[in-house]
A and B are shown apart, each in its own frame.
Chain A
Amino acid sequence: GEDVEQSLFLSVREGDSSVINCTYTDSSSTYLYWYKQEPGAGLQLLTYIFSNMDMKQDQRLTVLLNKKDKHLSLRIADTQTGDSAIYFCAAMDSSYKLIFGSGTRLLVRP
């Protein structure tokens, strides 16, 4: 089955770019997602990418997909303190289940 992995922690300075990385194992995943979780809250969909795309940009967010290496990344430009949260990478399997990574805790230092 699908397995999704992420680094656990990232610390950046306010105004810098953040890059969160993710790897997955099932090359047949159609959709790949980035979710954000703020303290005490549920998950909120940030952005997504179809498997036939290489890149998607949405305001400060850029998603890069390398299908050959099964590698997904999320870049946040001009990171703000409000971006501090846990970010989850997820891949959809063939039965409509989302397989989540373990989450990356992003800390933005003033």
Chain B
Amino acid sequence: EADIYQTPRYLVIGTGKKITLECSQTMGHDKMYWYQQDPGMELHLIHYSYGVNSTEKGDLSSESTVSRIRTEHFPLTLESARPSHTSQYLCASSTGQAVGRLYEQFFGPGTRLTVL
């Protein structure tokens, strides 16, 4: 059973506020990811981590930052939210590839962020 959680599910906030989107997984996965999903559906990788104290920027430039202090937790922070940050944010986690084992990313339910 894949257990990956995101909170809050929905957030409406004013411009200039600092926000943190939470993501936790109970599967002991080393690899975790943040995607931003356009209203038009396309997914863009904005951050990823291959283990504790390891974070990398993804393919789409983002003003957000992430941290990975514990294996199970991968929060995303926006220091000063703007309307252009309005989007759906999806968190995912995975094991590494191993012979005979499928590499699969498990997704959380997402956080829909609206910045007014």
A residues neighboring B (CB under 8 Å): 30-31, 33, 35, 40-45, 48, 86, 88, 92, 96-98, 100, 102-103, 105
B90 surroundings in chain A (CB, below 8 A): 42-43
Give me the 8 closest cross-chain CB pairs, A-B, nearest first.
A42-B107, A103-B41, A43-B107, A100-B43, A102-B42, A42-B109, A42-B110, A42-B108
Q: Is B97 an interface residue (CB 8 A)?
A: yes
Inter-chain contact B42/A103, CB cutoff 8 Å: yes
Question: What's the least CB distance linking B108 to chain A, in Å?
Answer: 5
Known interface pairs A43-B90, A88-B43, A105-B41; A98-B109 also in contact (CB < 8 Å): no
Cβ-neighbour of A97 out of B48, B102, B106, B110 (below 8 A) = B48
Chain B interfacial residues counted at CB < 8 A: 26
